[in-house]
Structure 1
Amino acid sequence: MNRRKLLQTMATAASATAIAGIMPSSAFASQTAATEGGARALKGLQRIDTHQHIVPPFYAKWLDSRGLNAGGLPIPTWSAEGALDLMDSNGIQTGILSVSTPGVHLGNDAEARIKAKEVNEFCAELVDKHPGRFGFFATLTLPDVAGAIEQAEYALTKLKADGVVLLANVRGTYLGTPEWDPLLEVLNRHKTTVFVHPSELPAAPVEGIPPYAADFLLDTTRAALNLAKRGCLERYPDLKIILAHAGGFVPYAAERMARVCSEDGSTAGGLKRLRQFYFDTALSSSPYALSALLAFAKPENITFGSDWPYANKERSSYFTGLLDSFGFSTAQREAVNRTNALKLFPRLA
């Protein structure tokens, strides 16, 4: 590469950072400094965590009886005390809880409906016991659409769920598939916030590389592209859809993927669709990941995420520290950590 091309490349990268209105304070923050930053948690900051998991003991026991894990990760031990410890250590006021992969549908519709109801009622009771500290995304029963609609109506109206969690794919069927449209219609009517969490790809993993390491990111990307390509964001405009882990590969590869999901085949049309998503920062707050996310996403569409307890306290706090060491303005920092989420969950204001 000659000097002129090198300077052009550097200018392009600088422009992307300027567009996002940010500049990393240190592109190579050490793990020690980042961990300490997370522990300090910026005095007075009250984060809203849109990517925090719950593993009710009866649910963990059920999965263990089937020999299941979460994309190569063991099912962690969860407790309300452990959650509050993580939150207090990292300046988190409220955690919006969700069940991770593999969800509750293991092949039997009736069993899935029972388990979803049990999980959602457990979450609702926890929210009542700890006012202001927890919310929850209701667990549904896809690919059982009728059961998913029934549980969505119950959780959103009776249990006062803050939204729903949907896996990116269920045994190879991805969000955006036409047969699941009746559920999206119901969720749109309720103006629901939908948290999209990755699952295992419908393919064998590469030997030695667990699904959570890379496949999860592609899984989320596939779901986002399918939802966008099928026009779901326009047909269901009152859905607010949060993509886990900064949207997988969406921000980084958006320009490449845009024409695939554009109604008119244009790059601009595809980018407009993809920018309608929300993105959380769970495990995605390194200076290089944040730079890509902030250069692509709408500033008001980024929320904080911890991924606890699948990311243990040390790991979660490390990424929180990276977020804290990033060169946000005061307004940007408050938006990512709190005010953007308040628009999705106004009851927490």
Structure 2
Amino acid sequence: MIIDVHSHLWAPPEFNAGGMMLVGSDGHYSGMEPKISDDRYLDYLQTLFKALDMVGTDFQMVSPRPFTMLHSRGSRLVDIWTRWTNNAIAQQVRLAPTRFAGMAGLPQVPGEPIERVFPEMERCIRELGFNSILINPDPAEGTGYVPPMGDPYWYPLYEKMCEHDVPALIHACSCCNGRETYANHFITEHSIALLSMIKAGVMQRFPKLKIIVAHGGGSVPYQVGRWRAERGAFPDLGKDGVQGKLSEAPGSFDDALRAFHFDTCLHSPLSVELLLKVVGTDNVCFGTERIGSGSQINPDTGRSYDDMKPDIEAMGFLTDQDRHKIFEGNARRLFRGLPETGHG
């Protein structure tokens, strides 16, 4: 069975049209949540089913389209749009429960306590049956300061995740600062989040916490040599440049790195191979974002960039057991409620 831990909402266009009305009215159309009939939604899903069947993907975790989440636009819009988005995900899952499970978007707002997301998180878990959440490490979307994910600001959310035994996919959302595209922003923010959590010893403080860092961990492991060297050179350097414990995480940088999980959503076999060799096959889950930005055709292969299954199968250093972990086994350790067999 092939389980894809990284995919996003596939809703008919009228859903996003409703979102444009919401934004254009500055939230005054909040009572006009798009109501899409099951027949219309199921008809629209046929395109996605064909795309998944074409590459052999059986099951996907469905989260919001990150760049649409409006986190920097203020509380009123964020609260309404996040609820609408999670409702649309729930409808997609309900219509095809053997193909999808829900990953909740959170109504994150910069400058407000992280506890504000708890009511919607609880609703998604208890009422909608979602088994995971998506965390945006930068709800300011490049426009201001947000505490890095090793900061105590985030600890109540980690406690809530452990309480409910739900994993999170760390995935940045939009970028509004004009210096970088949202794709650039993903790489930057995922790297900052991962390194901050490692330095703060978050996974040691919360040993039941389950974290997947999207897009292969950003610049890690590509820049792993620098982080290994830094940890070795300054093991006891405090944040003010004086002797003092920098990190709560014991051992090497590689030891700390392997407390996390990563997806294969890199669209490059060489990058996926490096990821697997650095963090190990116990820590990598299959993820593609299909249908998404990687669904363009790669002229070198004639396949889409997000069709990574054949490349992983062709990696000679992997055993059959390794491939099983990547395609299915690791996801089953992290996520509750997955089907036992493929949809067919």
TM range (shorter): 0.7 to 0.9
* Map of 1:168 onto structure 2: 137
Identity of aligned residues (%): 24
Counterpart residue type for residue 82 of structure 2:
A
**Is the aligned partner of 1:278 residue 2:261?**
yes
**Is the aligned partner of 1:302 residue 2:300?**
no
Q: Is the 8 A contact 2:288 2:307 kept in 1?
A: no
**Is the aligned partner of 1:178 residue 2:152?**
yes
* Map of 2:54 onto structure 1: 89
Distance 1:185 1:106 in 2: 25
Alignment of 1:100-249 (within 5 A): 100-102=65-67, 103-143=69-109, 144=112, 145-171=114-140, 172-173=145-146, 174-199=148-173, 203-205=177-179, 210-212=181-183, 214-249=184-219
Counterpart residue type for residue 167 of structure 1:
N
Distance 1:205 1:170 in 2: 17
Report the number of matched residues: 289
Distance 2:73 2:334 in 1: 32
Moved more, 98-107 or 288-297: 98-107
**Could you list the runs of 5+ residues in structure 2 that have no partner in the other structure?**
25-40, 236-244, 298-303
Distance 1:323 1:120 in 2: 32
**Could you list the runs of 5+ residues in structure 1 that have no partner in the other structure?**
1-45, 68-77
Q: CA deviation at 1:176?
A: 3.1
Alignment of 1:63-74 (within 5 A): 64=20
Distance 1:155 1:49 in 2: 20
Q: CA deviation at 1:114?
A: 2.1
- Cα RMSD after superposing both structures: 2.7
Q: CA deviation at 1:49?
A: 0.4
Please give the TM-score of this superposition, normalised by the length of structure 1: 0.74
Distance 1:257 1:333 in 2: 28
Counterpart residue type for residue 309 of structure 1:
I
Assess, with a 3 A threshold, how the Cα gap between structure 1 residues 320 and 285 changes in structure 2: closer, same or farther: farther
Distance 1:59 1:222 in 2: 33
Assess, with a 3 A threshold, how the Cα gap between structure 1 residues 137 and 251 changes in structure 2: closer, same or farther: same
* Map of 1:48 onto structure 2: 3
The higher relative CO (CA closer than 8 Å, separation ≥ 6) is in: 1
Assess, with a 3 A threshold, how the Cα gap between structure 1 residues 318 and 134 changes in structure 2: closer, same or farther: closer
Counterpart residue type for residue 92 of structure 1:
T
